[in-house]
Structure 1
Amino acid sequence: MIVRMPSHLTVLGTCRAWPEAHRAAGGLLLDHDGHRLALDLALALDLGYGAHPRLAALGAEPDAAVITHEHPDHCADLSALARARHFAPRRGRRLPLDCPPGVLTRVHAMEPTEDLHPLPAAGTLPAGPLRLDTAPLPHHVPHAGVRLTAPGLTLACSGDAGPCPALGQLAAGADPFIAGTTLNGAEADPRVLGLAQAAACATRAAARRLLPTHFRPGADRTRPAAEARAAFPGGEALAAEEGMVPAL
């Protein structure tokens, strides 16, 4: 019998490139609470500008972090998290981190820290039964798409990458498929995912829900949800918002 472990996903930030007022750049927090296995796993997925204060406001201390790529709107606040851990009254174990090449170099350029401990690119996270699988996806720098699975949970995240067959494999059956998208004709750039492309990928992958995110500051926020619903008639679609806790 498959036992479903209670899980909670919190959106920390939704902005592309830089954060606008009262928002943050890309960031997610996944809590996977399996009481039968006596574990609490909080996993930070991307930590762009302004994501750490929102993480701290939740009182969350991540057990692990996954960063899709080195652009600062996805990793800058990893430095803030490392500083908070370094200067805490009681220092804990090093933070397990999965990321492509370049992320640690970028973060250590701000300030060297020993709090971050790189992990292999795929496998079972050491804090519990969540399985992490990643795949290289096209972008302007080395980039990894993410798939997290556990009994009753399949979550996929495209980060900020462009379309490719590997993305469809990561998104297969996902609930939700979290897609970093843009609205303004980015389909011409093979290294960035357009909203229509994200919806098409979700449809081909039989994803149950589509959660577009990573919107350019100043963009019309009424458009993404409507456009996603129109482009993804086979499942539920809603646009990410800071503080959103979509059901899992």
Structure 2
Amino acid sequence: MRQVTVLGSCGAYPEPGRACSGFLVEWDGFRLVLDLGYATLPRLLNHCPDGAVDAVVITHEHPDHCIDLHGLFRMRLYGAGDGSRLPLYCTPGVLSRLSGLEPEADLRTVFDVHELPGAYPVGPFELGGVLLPHHVANAGVRLRNDQVVLAYTGDTGPDPLLAELGRDSDLYIMEATDRKGELREPHRNLLTAEEAGHWATRAGTRRLMLTHFWPGNDRAVSVAAARSAFDGEILIADEDLVVPLDPA
């Protein structure tokens, strides 16, 4: 299988029946997780019994993107782990934030930690990325091989680096929070759906997936806003949606 499965799509906190940010990327048996926010771990286990994944990438330390990584840590520490350390690629604040939950437990006993942003071979992919504007250090992520390019913003304000992150990608997963009052903020740290469409166009991506919806927002309205700035295919990141990773 070569696909992306949506584990969660909400920003801040999960709506009923949903989860916060999380995606499962599968490529010929290799399984990589992008973010593990609130309520994503049970959904991941539906697809990967015993948490059998090959790598985890966490964009930043906010709990709606990383909190269930601690659940995966406990699962591998006390239950399903085979003793090997799981490669974890994350910004430095992730470990310090999660270590505060259980200071006596060393997360590095389970995870082989690599700092983002950086360039790494990860299974069938080359992992790269850039720092993007947010309240804390956030790494936009780019996964590529000789057949496909997948990009993911994590959380970000508007920035020219968004065009480079998603350049000529086959799938660009972009936050479209549309939080009320965000446009009045002096320092922008989140995107609107229209801005996501704008940067997707600048990047030349083939498909745009909108995610990180603020709870209560009408997702159809977000799609319409993105459509005003992007002419390509637009997907809504609904839980359990499966998107083939097919090249153009």
* TM-score, scaled to structure 1: 0.89
1:82-125 CA-partner distances (Å, limit 9, x unpaired): 11111125524111111111100111111223212211432333
Q: Give, in angstroms, the shift of residue 185 of structure 1.
A: 5.3
The answer as to 2:97 corresponding to 1:99 is no
Match of 1:191 among 178, 189, 192: 189
Unaligned stretches of 5+ in structure 1? 1-5, 34-39
* Counterpart in the other structure of 2:46: 57
Q: Which amino acid aligns with 2:213?
A: F
Equivalent residues in 2 for 1:59-208 (5 A)?
59=48, 61-111=52-102, 112=105, 113=107, 114-121=109-116, 122-126=118-122, 128-183=123-178, 184=180, 186-189=182-185, 190-208=188-206
| Residues 92 and 202 (structure 1), Cα distance of their counterparts in 2 relative to 1, 3 Å cut | same
Q: Give, in angstroms, the shift of residue 141 of structure 1.
A: 0.5
- Note if contact 2:197-2:228 (Cα within 8 Å) is conserved in structure 1: no
Query: Which deviates the most, 57-66 or 198-207?
Result: 57-66
The answer as to 2:228 corresponding to 1:237 is no
Which whole-Å CA distance do the structure 2 matches of 1:140 and 1:238 have between them?
26
Q: Give, in angstroms, the shift of residue 17 of structure 1.
A: 0.5
Which whole-Å CA distance do the structure 2 matches of 1:198 and 1:90 have between them?
38
Which whole-Å CA distance do the structure 2 matches of 1:204 and 1:90 have between them?
43
Which whole-Å CA distance do the structure 2 matches of 1:117 and 1:157 have between them?
22
1:197-234 CA-partner distances (Å, limit 9, x unpaired): 1111111111111101001112223322233233312x
Which whole-Å CA distance do the structure 1 matches of 2:46 and 2:119 have between them?
30
Secondary structure of the residue that 2:130 maps to in structure 1?
A: strand
Q: Give, in angstroms, the shift of residue 138 of structure 1.
A: 0.4
- Note if contact 1:66-1:99 (Cα within 8 Å) is conserved in structure 2: yes
- Note if contact 2:5-2:23 (Cα within 8 Å) is conserved in structure 1: yes
Query: Which deviates the most, 205-214 or 175-184?
Result: 175-184
Unaligned stretches of 5+ in structure 2? none
| Residues 89 and 66 (structure 1), Cα distance of their counterparts in 2 relative to 1, 3 Å cut | closer
| Residues 19 and 104 (structure 1), Cα distance of their counterparts in 2 relative to 1, 3 Å cut | same
> CA RMSD, aligned part only?
1.6
- How many residue pairs get aligned? The number is 235
* TM-score, scaled to structure 2: 0.89
Secondary structure of the residue that 2:218 maps to in structure 1?
A: coil
Secondary structure of the residue that 2:65 maps to in structure 1?
A: helix
Which whole-Å CA distance do the structure 1 matches of 2:80 and 2:135 have between them?
39
- Note if contact 1:148-1:155 (Cα within 8 Å) is conserved in structure 2: yes
Query: Which deviates the most, 140-149 or 84-93?
Result: 84-93
| Residues 129 and 185 (structure 1), Cα distance of their counterparts in 2 relative to 1, 3 Å cut | same
Secondary structure of the residue that 1:222 maps to in structure 2?
A: helix
Secondary structure of the residue that 1:43 maps to in structure 2?
A: strand
